[in-house]
Structure 1
Amino acid sequence: MAAVRNFVVTAVNAEPRTIGLLTQITRFVLVGGLSALVDYGTYQGFLALGIWVHGAKAMSFVLGTTTAYLLNRRWTFNNASGGTGSVAKFALLYTVTFFVNIGMNAWMLGVLGDFRGHVTVAWIIAQGVATAINFVILRTVVFKAPV
C-alpha cells in the first residue's frame, strides 16, 4: 500500500513532462471525437425538441467546447495552465470559433440545399473548420506548448 501511496504522491508532485506534437495531435483527435459526440448528440437532441436550428447549434457548441477545453487542458496539453491571461485567451478563441462554427454551419445549410443528411454534413464541415483553428491556437497561444 505504501508503494501505491508513494506513486500517487510522486505523480501529483512531479513536474509536467513535455508532450510531443504527434502525441498532442493524437490526444487532441481523441478528445475532439468525444467532444464532437457531446456536441452532435446534444444538437440532435435539441433539434428533436423543436429548438430553432441555430439556437440548438449554439448550445451544443458550448457543451462540446466545454468538454474539449477541460479534457485538452488536463490531458492533451499536460495540465497546462496557460500562464497569465489564459482564461482571456481561451474566451477570445472560443468566441471567435463559436461564430466561425455557427456561421459555417448556417452557410453550409444554405449551400447544401435540402437533402437527407444535409444537417449532418453541414455540422461536420463546421466542426472541422473550428477544430483546426482550435488546435493551432490552443497549442501556440493559450497553452503555449513547446514546438
Structure 2
Amino acid sequence: MKKQLSRFIAVGIVTAAIDYSLTMILNALGLHRQWSKVVGWIFGTIAAYLLNSRYTFNAAVSGRKALAVFVLYASTFAIQNLLWWLTDAPLQALGFDGIIKNTISFVIAQGVATLTNFILQRTLIFRVSPPAETPAESESR
C-alpha cells in the first residue's frame, strides 16, 4: 500500500499541476473563476485516470473501470468545486484575493478530493484481491 500511495501522490502532483495551471491561466485570460476550474479539472482528471490505472494500480484501462472511475470522479468533482466555491467568500473576508485566494482554495479543494479519491479507488475500483490458496495450503487444513 505504501508504494501505491507514494505513486498516487506523485501522479496527483503532476495532474494537480495540470489542473492548477489551466485553472489559473484561463482565469487570468478572463474566463469565469468557476468555469476555469471546471476545464482545469477535466484535463487533470483525464491524465490522473490514465496515469493511475497504469502506474499506480497497474491495471488495464477498461470500459467497466472507466465507468466506475467516472462516477467516482463525478463525486470528487462535486466535492472539489463545492469547496472551491465555498472558500471564495471567507478567504476574501480574510483579505486574500486574486491568485493567492485561488491558490489557497485550490489546495483545500484538491487536498480533500485527493484523499477521498485515493481511498475510494483503492477500496472500490482497484481493490487488491487476496492471493489464491495453493493446493498444498488447502490440503494442510
Which residue does the alignment assign to 1:105? 84
Residue aligned with 2:127, SS: coil
Deviation of 1:60 after TM superposition, in Å, equals: 0.3
Does 2:96 correspond to 1:115?
yes
Q: Which amino acid aligns with 1:90?
A: V
The one-letter code of the counterpart of 1:103 is L
Q: Cα–Cα, structure 1 residues 109 and 85, in superposed 2: closer, same or farther, change >3 Å? A: same
Following superposition, the deviation at residue 78 of structure 1 comes to 1.0
**Structure 1 counterpart of 2:135:** none
TM-score under structure 2 length normalisation: 0.83
Mark the CA change 1:54 to 1:66 in structure 2 (over 3 Å): closer, same or farther: same
Q: How does 1:37-76 map to 2 (within 5 A)?
A: 37-76=17-56
Q: Report if aligned partners of 2:50, 2:61 keep a CA contact under 8 Å in 1.
A: no
Q: Contact between 1:81 and 1:143, CA under 8 Å: does it hold in 2?
A: no
- Of 16, 28, 38, the match for 2:8: 28
Return the offset for 1:146: 4.5
Write the deviation string for residues 14-46 of structure 1: whole angstroms up to 9, x where unpaired: xxxxxxx00000000100000011000001110
List runs of 5+ in structure 2 lacking aligned partners: 131-141
Determine if contact 2:76/2:116 at 8 Å carries over to the other structure: yes
Q: State the percentage of identical aligned residues.
A: 34
The change in CA–CA distance for 1:81 and 1:64 in structure 2 (over 3 A counts) is closer
Unmatched tracts of structure 1, length 5 or more: 1-20
Residue aligning to 2:139: none
Which of 88, 101, 107 is the matching residue for 2:67? 88
Is the CA contact (8 Å cut-off) linking 1:109 and 1:118 kept in structure 2? yes
Equivalenced residue count is: 126
Q: Distance in 1 between matches of 2:75 and 2:89?
A: 21
Residue type of the alignment partner of 1:36: A
Determine helix, strand or coil for the equivalent of 1:85: helix
